[in-house]
Amino acid sequence: MALLVPNPQLGQDGNPSSILVSEKPIKLSCSPVTFADGTPLTVLNQPKATFLIYRLLGGGIQQVLDTAAKAWVSPGPSVAPQNLFWDDKSKSWQAVIVAIGNKDGSTPPQDIFGTNPLTGFPKYAAQCFFTGTDANGTPQTGQSLLSSPVEILAAGQNNLAGLTMDPQPPDPTTAQQIRIFLKNSALVELGQVTILQDGLGFHVQLVAGGSTVVLSSSGNIVLSPSNGQPVQVNGDIAVSGRVLVGGVQVLVP
């Protein structure tokens, strides 16, 4: 008879969650694992307990983490699973996954875990595998289905406000751009202020609601409302100089 294995759970701070953050350890738990007669599988049953982590992309594409190669690959028997441990206090099989600082083998190295908060992909899930010897000395095996998928946000992506600096890694002595942003509770960016330099000089850019205001070191000011929205001025306008409409000078009475 096969072992009965429940769906594993991924969570943080002692609670399952669909959105996790890289800054905190991620706990994988899978319990209770039982024999057909209901007897739990423990360390007394000469067990082997392992797991795999999957990356779920758009379009139903699945990849599995090959920890030896430090890469996401197509699922297959060549990928070695990682070990679970038995936590006697909670009577459960567990593992701790550290997302922050976990890099792949590419050049330059990229974060292994990181969900785009705008698209919600990739997502991540776990699958657990068990073997153990029952009371009659007969080996039994079993595996779980995939856990419920979770998002794992890169460091800082759950912040509602912040400041970024480019190029990376940030260095104030070589910075060419700084950006201040604010997000809502759904982690959607509401507005940003960017100060940058390029071959044309320095620029200060304000962005909100699809509209932009750009002030340049040349003295140029560009107002660009979002589609269908006007530029509204409350009060008087004093014009000193030419007035151009579509690049054509017009006379103002």
11-30 tens-digit pLDDT: 998 888 899 999 999 999 99
What pLDDT was estimated at residue 164? 85
Q: Could you tell me the sign of the dihedral formed by the alpha carbons of 157, 160, 162, 167, in that order?
A: positive
Contact 126, 51 (CB under 8 A): yes
Cα–Cα dist 122/61, whole Å: 10
Correct CATH for 9-153 of 1.10.150, 2.60.40, 3.30.70, 3.40.720? 2.60.40
Of 36, 39, 41, 17, the residue nearest 28 (C-alpha): 17
Is 8 a residue whose pLDDT tops 70? yes
Contact 101, 112 (CB under 8 A): no
Is 158 a residue whose pLDDT tops 80? no
Cα–Cα dist 27/153, whole Å: 15
Q: pLDDT confidence of 170, banded at 50, 70, 90?
A: confident
| Residue 15, number of CB atoms within 10 A of its CB | 8
Strands 201-208 and 189-198 come out as antiparallel
Q: Domain boundaries in the chain?
A: 9-153, 161-231
> What is the per-residue DSSP string for 119-188?
T--SEEEEEEEEEEE-TTS-EEEEE--PPPPBEEEPTTTT-SEEEEEESSSP-TTT--EEEEEEE-TTS-
